[in-house]
Structure 1
Amino acid sequence: MPAPAADALLRWPDAFGSRFAVFVDTEEEFDWGRPFSREARATTHVRALPEAHAWFAGRGVPLTYLADHPVATCPRAVETLLALLQDGRSAIGTQLHPWVNPPFKETVNGYNSFAGNLAVELEAAKLRTLTDTITHAFGVRPRIYRAGRYGFGPNCAGILSGLGYRIDSSMRSGYDYSGEGGADFTQVGNQPFRLAPGLTELPLTTVYTGRLRRGGARLYQRLGTLHRGRGIASRLGLLSRVALTPEDMPVAEALEAIRTAAGEGLRFLHFSFHSPSLEPGHTPYVRDAADLKRFYRWWGEVLSALDRIGVRPASLSEIIEALDMACDPRGISAIAHGAGGL
C-alpha cells in the first residue's frame, strides 16, 4: 500500500478531543497452527461475551463487534450480540474470513485467506453475502468493515463504497504481510484518510517507542535484516514496534506506547483483540485461566492510564460523526472537499 496522498489525510476536529476505541474481531474458533478449513465454524466462546461486555461497559467503554459469517449465522451468537447492543453505544460491523464465507469458489489456502487476493467478482460476492447476512440478523446495516488477516486489496475500497460502508479498518499501520501473500502497510500511518467517496480508512494504531522511534517503520524494517536486530534494539530501549492489543503485547510496552502517543499529539488510539481470546484454549494468546487473568489485568492498567491522561472512549457513531466534520491538513472540511456522507 502506498502512503496516502497528503490531501486524503483527515484531521480530527478539535471538539473530538483525544479518544480511543476498542474493536473486537468477532469470529469463529480455529486452530491457529493448522491450515485454514471451511469446517472450522464453532462459536462456543460467545458465552463469554456478556461477562466481557459488562466488564468494559462498567468502565464506560463501548465495543464494536466486527462479526464474520460463522458468527452472523449462529443463532446463539446473534441472540447474545443483540442483547449486548442494547446498551445503545456498542455497534456491529463486518469482518470477512473468505475461507468460511460463501460463495465458495476459491481454493482454501494461505494466499486466498487474504480477501484482497481474490478475483474482484468473488470478493464482491462474499462481501455482499456477509453484509446482507449481518443486516438480516441484526436489523441494521453495518457501517464498518475489516478484512480478516488485514487482507485489504486493490478492489476493496470500490466494493465497500458501493455497499455503503463508511469506514474500513483493514490496514495495520507499520506492518508488512507481503511475505505471506498479503499487503504491506509500512507506509501507512495512524492518521485516518479518505479511500473513496464516502469511505474512510481508520488504520489500526501502531506506535514506535524508544530513543530511535523517529526512524519508524523504515528503521524497523532495516533492523529486521540483521540477526536479532529488532530484539536487541528493543531490549536496549532504542526501538520497539507496539500494537495496541493485549494479545502478545506486554502491558509495560503498551503503557509506554500510550505515553509516547500522547506526547506526540496522536489524537486517536485504535485498540483490538479477537473474541475467542475471551475464553481459554481458543487462541495462542489465552491458553488457560492465568492467561485470561493477565488479559483483563492488561486492560485494567491500560484503561486506567488512558483515563489519567484524559483520553476518552469513543463509540462508532461518535467516530463517524467526527469524521463527517474532519478536515484535511490544509483546513478544508471533508464535506466541503467532496467527501460528504462519511
Structure 2
Amino acid sequence: MTGARHRPDLVFVLSMDTEEEWDWSGPFPQRDFSVANADRLPAFQAFCDGLGIRPTYFVDYAMADDPAASAQLRPIIDSGRCEVGAHLHPWANPPYYGETGEYESHVVNLPLAQTEAKLEALLERLRGAFGVVPNAFRTGRWGINGEILELLRRKGFGIDSSMYPFFRNAYFDCEQTHLQPYWPDFDEPVRPGRQRDLLEFPVTVGFNGTDPARMLARYKAVSRPALERLRLVGLSWHTRFVRKLYLSPEVTSGRDMRPLVDFALANDNPMLHMYLHSSSLIDHGTGLIEAPGAMDIIQRNIEELLAYAGTRANLTFCTLSEAALLIDHRVGVAA
C-alpha cells in the first residue's frame, strides 16, 4: 500500500442545506413550516464529530425562525464544531411578494430588490437566533448569476456555494461550471475571473470516468429527451458506459461515490465537497431515500466513502471557510 506521505492531500467538506421539510412534489409551503428534522441534528453532529467532520450548515429562515429548531442548533454552533452559512428559500423567507410557483422558487428569477430584502431578513434572523454573521451562502434550488454574486460581495460574504456542476434547467446553466474552487467571473459565473472577494465552492459532481468532457458528452448523448423512452440512462448505468455521480449520501451509495474520489484526484481538484439536506435525516423527509432508517443509511454511506477516500488521499476535514484558507494557502485557487 502506498504510504500516507506519498498520497495526495484532499480537503473534505460536508455541507448541509438545513431547512424545513415538505412534499417536494407538492406546492411550496409559505406558512406553518415543519422543521421536525432539527431533532436529528445533535445526533448527526455527534456522528460527524466521531469521524472528524466539521460540517457547514446552510441554515434557512424557516429553521432559524423556529425556537425549538434553533435550540437544537445553538449548542452545536456555540461549541465551534461547525460553520453556519445562509440558505435562501424564497417561499419560506420574508418579505413575501405573492404565491411561490416553480419560477419564483429559483432565486435567480427574482427581481434583485426582492432578493436583497429577503437576504437582509435572513441575515437578521441568523444573527438573532445564533449570534452569527455568515461568510458562506447558497441559493435554494441551486444556480447563481452575476448580480446576485455582486449583492453577496456588497453584503460581506466571502464564499458562495450555489454552483451544481454538469446541471442545467430552464433558469440557469451550471453544465460547464469550473470543478475546482475558483474566483467566479461575475459576467460569466461558471468561469474563473479577476475578482478576489468572493470564492465559489461547487459541490462535487462527476462521472465514473476521469475525463469530464468525454463523460459529459456521453451523458448528454444518452439523456436526450427524444431518447427517453429507450431508457438509455438506466442502461448506461448498468453497463457502466456512463454514470453521473453525486457526492451526496442521500442519493448515492458509499460504493457508488468512490469514483468521485478518483475523478477529483485525476482533475487536480484539491477538495471533496459532500452535500445533503437536513430533511433527509428523517424518513420520507425529502423522498430521496425510500427505505426506512434514512439517517442510518446516510451515515453508512458517508463512512464507506471516507474509508475509500482515506486509502487514496490524506484527508483534512474543514468547514467551508476553513477550506478557503487552507486551499488558498496550499495550492491557490483557480484564476
Tell me if TM exceeds 0.5.
yes
Instruction: Give the TM bin, normalised by the shorter chain.
Output: 0.7 to 0.9
* SS of 1:289 mapped into structure 2: coil
Q: Confirm or deny: 8 A CA contact 1:208 1:257 kept in the other structure.
A: yes
Q: Does 1:188 pair with 2:177?
A: yes
Q: How far apart, CA to CA, are the structure 2 residues paired with 1:278 and 1:103?
A: 29
- Larger deviation, residues 286-295 vs 104-113: 286-295
| TM-score normalised to structure 2 length | 0.86
Q: Confirm or deny: 8 A CA contact 1:258 1:306 kept in the other structure.
A: yes
Deviation digits for residues 7-29 of structure 1 (CA, Å, limit 9, x no counterpart)? xxxxxxxxx93111000100001
State how 1:36-115 maps to structure 2 within 5 Å. 36-115=28-107
From 327, 334, 341, the counterpart of 2:332? 327
Q: How far apart, CA to CA, are the structure 1 residues paired with 2:121 and 2:72?
A: 22
Residue of structure 1 in register with 2:268 after alignment: 265
- 1:106, distance to aligned residue in structure 2 (A): 4.1
* SS of 1:92 mapped into structure 2: strand
Residue of structure 2 in register with 1:236 after alignment: 239
Q: Does 1:303 pair with 2:306?
A: yes
**Change beyond 3 A, Cα 1:312–1:82:** same
- 1:307, distance to aligned residue in structure 2 (A): 2.2
Query: What one-letter code is carried by the residue in structure 1 that aligns with 2:58?
Result: L
* SS of 2:174 mapped into structure 1: coil
Q: How far apart, CA to CA, are the structure 2 residues paired with 1:29 and 1:189?
A: 31
- Larger deviation, residues 243-252 vs 189-198: 189-198
Q: How far apart, CA to CA, are the structure 2 residues paired with 1:56 and 1:50?
A: 10
Q: Confirm or deny: 8 A CA contact 2:181 2:334 kept in the other structure.
A: no
Q: Provide the identity percentage.
A: 28
- 1:121, distance to aligned residue in structure 2 (A): 0.5
Residue of structure 2 in register with 1:338 after alignment: none
Residue of structure 2 in register with 1:246 after alignment: 249
Query: What one-letter code is carried by the residue in structure 2 that aligns with 1:308?
Result: T
Q: How far apart, CA to CA, are the structure 2 residues paired with 1:211 and 1:18?
A: 17
Q: Does 1:163 pair with 2:155?
A: yes
Query: What one-letter code is carried by the residue in structure 2 that aligns with 1:33?
Result: S
Q: Confirm or deny: 8 A CA contact 2:327 2:333 kept in the other structure.
A: no
Residue of structure 2 in register with 1:205 after alignment: 204
Q: Confirm or deny: 8 A CA contact 2:270 2:327 kept in the other structure.
A: no
Residue of structure 1 in register with 2:135 after alignment: 143
* SS of 2:52 mapped into structure 1: coil
**Change beyond 3 A, Cα 1:317–1:119:** closer
- 1:130, distance to aligned residue in structure 2 (A): 0.6
Q: How far apart, CA to CA, are the structure 2 residues paired with 1:314 and 1:204?
A: 14
Q: Confirm or deny: 8 A CA contact 1:28 1:40 kept in the other structure.
A: no
Gaps of 5+ in 2: 1-7, 185-194
* SS of 1:82 mapped into structure 2: helix
* SS of 1:193 mapped into structure 2: coil
**Change beyond 3 A, Cα 1:93–1:306:** same
Q: Confirm or deny: 8 A CA contact 1:279 1:286 kept in the other structure.
A: no
* SS of 1:95 mapped into structure 2: strand
Residue of structure 1 in register with 2:5 after alignment: none
Q: How far apart, CA to CA, are the structure 1 residues paired with 2:78 and 2:196?
A: 31
Misfit runs of 4+, over 3 Å: 210-214, 286-292, 323-330
Query: What one-letter code is carried by the residue in structure 2 that aligns with 1:64?
Result: T
Residue of structure 2 in register with 1:10 after alignment: none
Q: How far apart, CA to CA, are the structure 2 residues paired with 1:34 and 1:46?
A: 21
Q: Confirm or deny: 8 A CA contact 1:193 1:201 kept in the other structure.
A: yes
Residue of structure 2 in register with 1:152 after alignment: 144
- 1:211, distance to aligned residue in structure 2 (A): 8.1
* SS of 1:297 mapped into structure 2: helix
Deviation digits for residues 141-172 of structure 1 (CA, Å, limit 9, x no counterpart)? 00000001004234210111111011110110
Count matched residues. 312
Deviation digits for residues 252-300 of structure 1 (CA, Å, limit 9, x no counterpart)? 2201222333344321011011001112131212455344332221111
Query: What one-letter code is carried by the residue in structure 2 that aligns with 1:217?
Result: L
Q: How far apart, CA to CA, are the structure 2 residues paired with 1:158 and 1:214?
A: 30
Query: What one-letter code is carried by the residue in structure 2 that aligns with 1:305?
Result: Y
Q: How far apart, CA to CA, are the structure 2 residues paired with 1:267 and 1:32?
A: 33
- Larger deviation, residues 143-152 vs 298-307: 298-307
| TM-score normalised to structure 1 length | 0.85
Q: Confirm or deny: 8 A CA contact 2:248 2:274 kept in the other structure.
A: yes
- Larger deviation, residues 318-327 vs 64-73: 318-327
